[in-house]
Amino acid sequence: MSPGLGREGIARGGASHQIVAAPPIPAMRDASTRLPTKRPMSAPGELVVVVRMHYIEPMKTAVIPQVRVDSQLRADLDSVLLPGETLTEFVEASVRRAVEFRRVQTDFAARCDASLASYERTGRSVGSDAVLSKLEAKVAARVEQLRR
């Protein structure tokens, strides 16, 4: 076992843990039945790989279908991957951003529909001058915040 590694194959030290390859766990067999038996724990606190991974990262059980693309798009994609970034990580991050964008877009459309319905019901609205001055004030405040 490497120095600094716990028996679970996780580097110890500091606030974060670095995942390293753990040696495979051989199945223990009962000599009389030749059936797999529970592996005896060689040290207190040693965990089976499946349990260990449960606490390190939640299991991902859903799969996104493969997408066929032309070779130019694939080459463009490979050229923008960051060092050490995998295609899977890139696709997952892209899908997460697209889902969040759609969620925000849907919420915005719902607020627009509600505002229009309110206007049609009451006949009252906020003037464009008031809306634009409020937006300009927000932009100015953000610009000032970014300059600090």
**Burial status of residue 8 (CB atoms within 10 A of its CB: 0-12, 13-18, 19 or more):** buried
Pairing of strands 36-37, 18-19: unpaired
Report field, pTM of the whole predicted structure over 0.85: no
Strand ranges (DSSP E) for 1-122? 10-11, 18-19, 28-29, 36-37
pLDDT at 60: 77
Give me 65's structure tokens: 């279908």
Q: Which helix (H) or strand (E) holds 111?
A: helix 87-122
**Burial status of residue 7 (CB atoms within 10 A of its CB: 0-12, 13-18, 19 or more):** middle
**Average pLDDT per 10 consecutive residues for the chain, totaling 148 residues:** 45 46 48 50 50 62 90 96 93 96 98 96 94 97 96
